[in-house]
A and B are shown apart, each in its own frame.
Chain A
């Protein structure tokens, strides 16, 4: 397991391919995937804020990208990632604090709920945002 040039001789975490896909596993993987996505997203939100402080021209440039089709798709995915990471993060806190939700049936349902919350929540936010 541990080879030459490793940071330390401990074995690595198991990679994706050794897991059987099921709701709780997908829930855990997507927590990490959405987290990494939000890491990138933070730099884009940061660009918006920096442009706002720079000049109207810089802001217009960022606005043009944000309101383009790829920009809108990216923002929709960002909002879904925020809602998923938020819901699943709350679940982590409930696991760690009151220690509720480890029963396999409930755990699977909870994972499904978090996915549904992210998708439906993002759709609701975007439709409200376009109406008001």
Chain B
């Protein structure tokens, strides 16, 4: 089962390696991982998507908490929450491809008529999948996407 885990860590060097190393050492999977400092620059926030049964997820949460620079861990999968990721696609500017991308909700952030364009698309992981699927493979030059970032709905915040 897919789990989205949000983590607050001390913003110090090597934290990301500790987290990635924990997953590889114990044979857990990381599907995606996003990390950036928060408004409080001493703290970084991560959103990590992983797969595993309940027992494994429980261990993952405990093992994450055991890492010294980890301040807080929350599995938001079971709460009412929102996830958003971002995608950039560079495609050949042919036919009505660019119009279609715009109609699907993408922003065209660069283009050279008749040559190529770059579309930017943000949304839920499923929406990103859907958008990618809608673009004909043979016109795609390259694409890149982030894993989702996420937070719970409601007025309560996940902060230090």
Interaction A to B = no
B: residues with CB less than 8 A from A are none
